[in-house]
Structure 1
Amino acid sequence: MSERHVQVEVPLATAWRTVAARPSPDGERWYADAAPLAFRARLDDAARTVLGPPPPAPVAPPGPTAGDGLLRPGDEAGFWTVLEADPAAYRLRLHARVHAPGTVRLSVWLTELSGRAGTCRVHVRIGFRPRGLVGAGYLLADLPAREVVVEGVARRLAADVAAGVA
């Protein structure tokens, strides 16, 4: 698991509107067009021509919806499927629909900083649950790349939150 935390001078509710925003018609959003994720999407497009479509995403569990203009469980965003979009907990969990010897998940959640009104922390975690021996090898081999990706996603998301991009 790779994880980063970034402090932003934005209230929780405002930050959530950026974190949980549905993709725009041009497809640009932090989870779809951040450079490391765009690179991964291109790799998977190439794999698709040889291997066919990736395994289907799990069915999103029932839960609270995020509201108008925001992601909801079952929505697709880039190569991700939304598993959870909980506005009460300020938590978003995504499942990657990619070719990998295991399961790739992205979690983003927000926490308020005590004593710092209007400031929150953005948490980003990318996890990989390996499947079989190939997956275990992939887990180790992919760690440096996953660290770069989580750093890039955390920085991009924090910048979007700070800029009020929704």
Structure 2
Amino acid sequence: MMKITLFALIISAGILTSCNVNAKYRKQGNHWFEDCKVPNDKEDEKLYINDGLKEYEELFKDHDAAAMAEKYTQDCVYMHQDIGIIEGREAVREAYQEMFDSGKYSLKILKDDYLELLVLKTGDMQVKADVRYFDKDNNSMGVSRLLVTLKPVEDGYQTYQKTEFTA
């Protein structure tokens, strides 16, 4: 049974961290990190944030709304300043499809601007990031600020909550 989460955006998110430095990062499946382990230090955070963000960028560019939605928990909440609050994986899939239909072709996580990871006492992770969207001709379509909460699941992390607003 597949489990999922993101953002992260960025996000899913995004976006992301877990596993120790020697653990193998898995790109397959519906979760972001293998074994539900949290990073032990700043080097772990850097390694897994970069891997997770790269995967998020690649998934977005594939324009597969269903694959994006699979990175979210079934009971996820996505708050967006333009579309309001949506709940559930199917609503997230529809939101991504609308985003792709609006002409957003790709995105880039702006790592130097606002990237931060915080491991909460609950075991959840929060990732903050700025994201720039581009159209098919690589023209900027604006910047959004993301706050993504990743929830530990059986075999990794899934996006439980994502908040996005124009920076």
- TM-score w.r.t. structure 2 length? 0.30
Q: Which has the higher helix share?
A: 1
Q: Which has the higher strand share?
A: 2
Max radius of gyration: which structure? 1
- TM-score w.r.t. structure 1 length? 0.30
